[in-house]
Structure 1
Amino acid sequence: MQPKVIQRILGLLLMVFSLTMLPPVIVGLIYNEGVVIHFLQGFALVFFIGLLIWLPSRNHRNELKLRDGFVVVVMFWVPLSFSGTVPLYLSPEPAMSLTDAVFE
């Protein structure tokens, strides 16, 4: 197993996934909605975490083995589900607990 390569890919995936929070920001700006700041905060938080994971391992460029691919998929699903909860948890309306935001 190659932990640095897995770390590099997980960081990149989180940074790419954080970009999915920008279209709601654009739509929120067009329709003048108040949830724009929560999606921007979610974008910044997830992007920053991905950057912190990626930076120490950015120069490791070995090929992934099949086992490493499975580890990447398993390890990405957990942060993926929690990063999607950030805008819902930060938004005051509807008021959601962390559990409700995770399962939403």
Structure 2
Amino acid sequence: MPSDPLPTEPSALGAVIAERLRAHFPPDNERDRQVMALAEEVGEFVGAYRRWSGNARRTGSFDEVRDELADVVITAYVTAAVLDIDLDEAVGAKAAKIFTRGWRDEPAG
């Protein structure tokens, strides 16, 4: 089976993965399935971080932390594609809002 090159732009990558998933899973509850997949990936990232930082029963590598964080970002883009959200636009708008806030209140006294 010939394979097209993977897109490097995150939104395009998310759209391609969403289409490939649609070819292999029933269309009903696609949104629920994808939102749960995102939560699962976040949990895997937290677990990898806990292992690497010494807060779990077993150890792990920083490469595992990096890989799981990449999974979170990719899965977020897939979820955005499934929910018809322009994630790049949403991130830009949210970043602009964040930069209008103060960073930390000065301690009293």
Q: Quickly name the TM-score band, shorter chain normalised.
A: 0.3 to 0.5
TM-score (norm 1): 0.38
Structure having the higher Rg: 2
